[in-house]
């Protein structure tokens, strides 16, 4: 990092170097002029001093040499003047650049400091490419501007919050003051209520004594109800068992009727099969009779040779007629059996329906007995629970009676305590009034702080 002192040293060093260069050039020019002058004098003075003749050519040569020496001197002086002017101009430019690089940031820094003093906090930082003390000053001013802006922003926010909180505190303190006044009035009412409570507790003690007697009578009645409920449970148990047996018997009858009905229906089916077979046999007998008749006719045509065959055909015809007569009897028997089996089926179906209905009714009755048993059991349980609860209530009532007696004494003590609490509430009300006054002052100070912060113009885009 180049310091301001270093820049100045560099500028003055360049000026001194230019001055030394100009001095060296002048020294060289003067040395050359002196050398030429010495050469001219060494060539012209000896002949003059010896009194010799000096030719016009020598004089002319001396004049030319003198002119050349004068020209050289003039050129040397011109070069010296030009170099001096150039050195002066370069020095002025360097000095102006150095001074300008110093003055411009300083002016901006001074303007920024004046703005900060006037309460204007800028968001845009100062720009400086210098790495010297001026650059450090600009960076320090930017940092100070950022810190002051941040501090003022926080102060502004805090002052706003303090103003809001102080307003809320002032309002809350006013509400608390109002509520404490209400509490004080309530305390007075509670004191009067405590005295009334003590009187009511005494009357309640007498009422609870009578209540204990009534509960004792109810407890003894509950014991009788418990015994009656237990007997009802026992009877319903017996009835339920008998109903279960009846249901089992009806189920057995129902199953037997079902089996009988199925068997009769199976018999009817078999009789129908037999009828079909008899019908087939009848057809066979009729065909056989017809064949026997045809055979007899053919045997008669054959004459003597067909006599034996005619006898056989006649026997076959007689046998067919007997079979037909037997089939007629069988059909009559089958018809009678089918009619009777149909009547049995109708009877069984009617009995089946009656048994099914009776089974359902007995099952429903059994379910009702079961439900009645459960309800009676529940009732017995509730009665037992009520009886036990009555005894417990009787014990608790005795304890409550004792507690009520204690409440009467405590109520009197509470009345005295409530009076003391009312006095404490009054003191609290005074303290709340003091807090309310302090909150009002804090609100005023917060408003003053907020008004003071309004004169500062803080750029919210600072540091972004």
Look at residues 83, 118, 153 and tell me which one is the last residue of a structural domain. 118
Q: What is the largest CA-CA distance in the chain?
A: 233
pLDDT in tens, 95-111: 666 666 666 776 776 77
- Tell me: do 195 and 114 sit in the same domain: no
- Tell me: do 114 and 259 sit in the same domain: no
- Tell me: do 207 and 104 sit in the same domain: no
**What is the model's pLDDT at position 1?**
45
| 276, burial (CB in 10 Å: exposed 0-12, middle 13-18, buried 19+) | exposed
- Tell me: do 262 and 388 sit in the same domain: yes
Q: Does residue 376 sit within a domain?
A: yes
Q: Does residue 75 sit within a domain?
A: yes
Both structure tokens of 59:
């004089």
24 vs 258 pLDDT, higher one: 258
The DSSP line for 432-447 is HHHHHHHHHHHHHHHH
The reported pTM is: 0.32
Look at residues 73, 102, 118 and tell me which one is the last residue of a structural domain. 118
- Tell me: do 316 and 430 sit in the same domain: yes
Other Cβ atoms within 10 Å of 355 Cβ, number: 19
**What is the model's pLDDT at position 425?**
66
With residue 245 as reference, give the H or E element that holds it.
helix 133-302
Report the domain count for the chain: 2
- Tell me: do 368 and 240 sit in the same domain: yes
Look at residues 94, 118, 142 and tell me which one is the last residue of a structural domain. 118
Confidence of residue 302 (pLDDT cuts 50, 70, 90): confident
Q: Does residue 172 sit within a domain?
A: no
Whichever domain contains 236, its CATH number is 1.10.287.2610
**Collapsing DSSP states into helix, strand and coil, what is residue 430?**
helix
Boundaries of domain holding 206: 191-443
- Tell me: do 196 and 108 sit in the same domain: no
The contacts of residue 112 (CB under 8 Å, 6+ apart) are: 122, 126, 141, 145
Looking up tokens 């802006």 gives: 149
Contact (CB, 8 A) for 126 and 108: yes
**What is the model's pLDDT at position 457?**
59
């Amino acid at each position: 990092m180049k310091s301001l002192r270093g820049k100045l040293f560099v500028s003055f060093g360049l000026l001194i170097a230019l001055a030394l260069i100009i001095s060296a050039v002048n020294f060289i020019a003067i040395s050359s002029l002196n050398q030429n002058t010495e050469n001219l004098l060494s060539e012209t003075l000896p002949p003059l001093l010896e009194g010799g003749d000096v030719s016009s050519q020598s004089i002319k040569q001396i004049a030319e040499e003198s002119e050349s020496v004068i020209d050289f001197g003039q050129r040397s002086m011109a070069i010296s003047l030009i170099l001096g002017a150039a050195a002066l101009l370069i020095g002025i430019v360097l000095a102006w650049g150095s001074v300008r690089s110093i003055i411009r940031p300083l002016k901006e820094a001074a303007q920024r400091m004046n703005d900060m003093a006037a309460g204007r906090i800028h968001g845009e930082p100062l720009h400086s490419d210098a790495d010297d003390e001026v650059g450090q000053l600009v960076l320090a001013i930017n940092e100070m501007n950022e810190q002051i802006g941040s501090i003022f922003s926080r102060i502004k926010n805090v002052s706003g919050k303090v103003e809001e909180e102080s307003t809320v505190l002032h309002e809350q303190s006013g509400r608390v003051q109002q509520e404490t006044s209400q509490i004080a009035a309530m305390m007075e009412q509670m004191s009067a209520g405590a005295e009334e409570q003590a009187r009511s507790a005494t009357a309640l003690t007498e009422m609870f004594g009578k209540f204990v007697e009534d509960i004792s009578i109810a407890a003894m009645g509950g014991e009788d109800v418990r015994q009656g409920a237990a007997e009802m449970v026992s009877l319903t148990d017996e009835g339920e068992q008998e109903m279960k047996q009846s249901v089992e018997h009806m189920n057995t009858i129902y199953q037997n009727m079902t089996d009988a009905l199925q068997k009769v229906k199976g018999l009817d089916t078999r009789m129908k099969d037999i009828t079909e077979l008899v019908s087939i046999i009848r057809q066979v007998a009729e065909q056989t009779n017809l064949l026997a008749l045809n055979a007899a006719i053919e045997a008669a045509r054959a004459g003597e040779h067909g006599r034996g065959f005619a006898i056989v055909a006649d026997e076959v015809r007689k046998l067919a007629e007997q079979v037909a007569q037997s089939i007629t009897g069988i059909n009559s028997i089958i018809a009678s059996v089918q009619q009777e089996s149909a009547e049995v089926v109708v009877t069984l179906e009617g009995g089946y329906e009656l048994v099914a209905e009776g089974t359902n009714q007995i099952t429903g009755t059994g379910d009702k007995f079961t439900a009645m048993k459960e309800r009676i059991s529940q009732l017995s349980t509730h009665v037992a629970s009520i009886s036990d609860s009555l005894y417990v209530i009787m014990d608790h009532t005795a304890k409550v009676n004792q507690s009520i007696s204690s409440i009467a004494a405590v109520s009197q003590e509470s009345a005295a305590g409530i009076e003391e609490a009312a006095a404490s509430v009054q003191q609290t009300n005074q303290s709340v009034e003091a807090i309310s006054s302090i909150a009002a002052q804090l609100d005023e100070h917060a408003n003053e702080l907020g008004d003071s912060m309004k004169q500062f113009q803080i750029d919210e885009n600072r540091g972004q």
